[in-house]
Structure 1
């Protein structure tokens, strides 16, 4: 149908298209696809405690935080129940 020239063109296209795409996306990645501030700095990242006393202190901090949130949630629930009881009467 198309002849040998068409077959050579198709073969060249099938080979060169993926190579061209890989070349375009594979070179100068820092300048093409960089986003400033995407990754957190070392100061912003989480620091995992390794010493036993640091671990205990971190667990205590998390426990206090959890209890504070629980107390706040319970206070809001009782306040909303009182509001609902007051509105219904």
Structure 2
């Protein structure tokens, strides 16, 4: 059997191995595991309006966008119905 030196070595390995793994994977994470361009830039993210005027302006923008899409859809449906009636 091994002696006390072997037991001290094993104890040291049991203690140091997890610490070494945590140190290796825990340092310099931004450079080691980062993917360039993964997260959107701040100017590309949604900005939630908090002021009353900003909220109303955003609601008006969304309403006009929805109505514009509705008008295009209705025009496309009318065109499809007109083509279907000619056949």
Q: Which category of TM-score, normalised to the shorter sequence, fits these structures? A: 0.5 to 0.7
Quick check: 1:72 aligned with 2:33? no
In 1, the alpha carbon distance for the partners of 2:45 and 2:39 equals 9
In 2, the alpha carbon distance for the partners of 1:31 and 1:49 equals 34
TM-score normalised to structure 1 length? 0.65
Number of aligned positions between the proteins: 77
Tell me the secondary structure at the aligned position of residue 35 of structure 1: coil
Aligned alpha-carbon RMSD (Å)? 2.8
TM-score normalised to structure 2 length? 0.66
In 2, the alpha carbon distance for the partners of 1:57 and 1:29 equals 41
Quick check: 1:35 aligned with 2:43? no
Segments of 5+ residues of structure 1 without an aligned counterpart are 1-14
Aligned to 2:48: 48
Residues 47-68 of structure 1: per-residue CA shift (max 9 Å, x gap): 1111101101110110000000
In 2, the alpha carbon distance for the partners of 1:21 and 1:83 equals 69
